[in-house]
Amino acid sequence: MPGLIRGVARTAVVAGTATAVSNRVSRRQQGRWAAQQGYEAPAPQPAYQAEPAAAPAAPDMTSKIEQLKQLGELKEQGVLTEAEFEDQKRRILET
């Protein structure tokens, strides 16, 4: 079980970091475009938006596919073992 928790924690860190970097790049690009074209950029969105407390009854397939892609990337990077990967994959597909 500790390996599973470690894998989930690493996944959360990777996803959070990717979101923060993506938002920062978007804000920087909007600022540059506004300076070049002379228009006002829309107000920046918060870097982190809390998910709703209640999970949807039936998650759509695209979110499952995204989760599986992230798991695959973590496995390729050596963050997850084969057993951890298979366990997480099974859990995603069962929900």
Tens digits of per-residue pLDDT, 7-64? Answer: 777 888 788 787 877 778 888 888 777 777 765 556 666 666 555 555 554 557 888 8
Whether the Cβ atoms of residue 68 and residue 94 lie closer than 8 Å to each other: no
For residue 79, what pLDDT is reported? 84
Residue 4: pLDDT band (50, 70, 90) is confident
- In the predicted model, is pLDDT for residue 1 greater than 60? no
Q: Specify the pLDDT at position 27.
A: 82
Task: Please determine, for residue 83, whether its predicted confidence score (pLDDT) is greater than 60.
Answer: yes
CA angle (19 as vertex; 49, 91 as ends), nearest 5: 85
Report the pLDDT value the prediction gives residue 49, as an integer from 0 to 100. Answer: 58
Global confidence as pTM: 0.38
The residue type at 12: A
